[in-house]
Amino acid sequence: MSGGLSATWGMMQLTLWQMTRSRKFLAMVIVTCAPMLIVVYALSRPEMNEPYLFFNELTNILYIQLMLLLVTLINSTSLIRDEISAKTIGFLVTRSISRGEVALSRYLAHIAVNFFLVALPVALSYTYIGLVEGGLSSNLDILGPYLLMILAGVFAYGAFFYLLGILVRHPLMIGLLFAFLWELVLSNMPGRIPYITIMFYIRSLGAEMITSGSIARYDSISGILALGVLSALTLVLLMLSRRSFSGKDLI
């Protein structure tokens, strides 16, 4: 492995090590997995006749519209900002790796952590329903689109909040306003207003493939077009993050 690739891989490993061995990671695992108790309780009720429709609604409302935003907000804004606040950023930027590569490496590494935190409870809830109620393999057409939505979401929201963490000294307040006022409120308004939110394009990915539940009733565009918009947005935000971090006065 060349020196540049080795340094990039080393930065990714360091980022994964920092994120997964923190108390914050453990707390977020608990927070994201706690709603699985709702699934266990709901399936114990005799009136539960449509478990996969319940899974569909729970995942859409709780994980796509809440946990996805919460996890990316907390992890992505802090990825660079915490290093600056703790005055340990010098350790990262004085290595044999450019600032642009540092920004890219840390972003790519944190995607895996964010995806794990949101996708794990969704997959476990689906598996539990399948083991208790049956239909584990025949309802993968519900699980698959949600995992795709989560993956696209951690890339797009991760890129937005990552840039916010680089540009702003206290990004959490602005991030909260964006997540829970702009994204949640505007994405659920009538007409074409949702088109200006990231959530609209994430939901469009699932709306084309999932034919039941509230997600199928959302206004949407084609899945390919939605994926193209999300990909372009992610690339632009990541390029801005690299440029901003490369030119930032850190030392």
Interior angle at CA 144, CA 140 and CA 148, nearest 5: 175
Mean pLDDT of 156-164: 97
pTM beyond 0.95: the answer is no
Task: Render pLDDT for 173-199 as a digit per residue (tens, 0 to 9).
Answer: 999 999 989 999 999 998 899 999 999
Candidate ranges 1-10, 84-93, 94-103, 176-185; pick with highest mean pLDDT: 176-185
Distance, in Å, from the CA atom of 117 to the CA atom of 66, rounded to the nearest integer, reads 13
Task: Render pLDDT for 45-74 as a digit per residue (tens, 0 to 9).
Answer: 888 889 999 999 999 999 999 999 999 999
User: What pLDDT, on the 0 to 100 scale, is given for residue 224?
Assistant: 95
Where residue 2 falls among pLDDT bands split at 50, 70, 90? low
User: What pLDDT, on the 0 to 100 scale, is given for residue 129?
Assistant: 95
User: What pLDDT, on the 0 to 100 scale, is given for residue 181?
Assistant: 92
Distance, in Å, from the CA atom of 121 to the CA atom of 63, rounded to the nearest integer, reads 9
Note the residue count of the chain. Answer: 251
Distance, in Å, from the CA atom of 176 to the CA atom of 96, rounded to the nearest integer, reads 35
By the 8 A CB rule, do 200 and 135 touch?
no
Task: Decide which of 165 and 212 is more confident.
Answer: 165
User: What pLDDT, on the 0 to 100 scale, is given for residue 251?
Assistant: 57
Distance, in Å, from the CA atom of 171 to the CA atom of 180, rounded to the nearest integer, reads 14
Distance, in Å, from the CA atom of 120 to the CA atom of 33, rounded to the nearest integer, reads 8
Where residue 245 falls among pLDDT bands split at 50, 70, 90? confident
Nearest to 188 by CA among 224, 215, 149, 222: 215
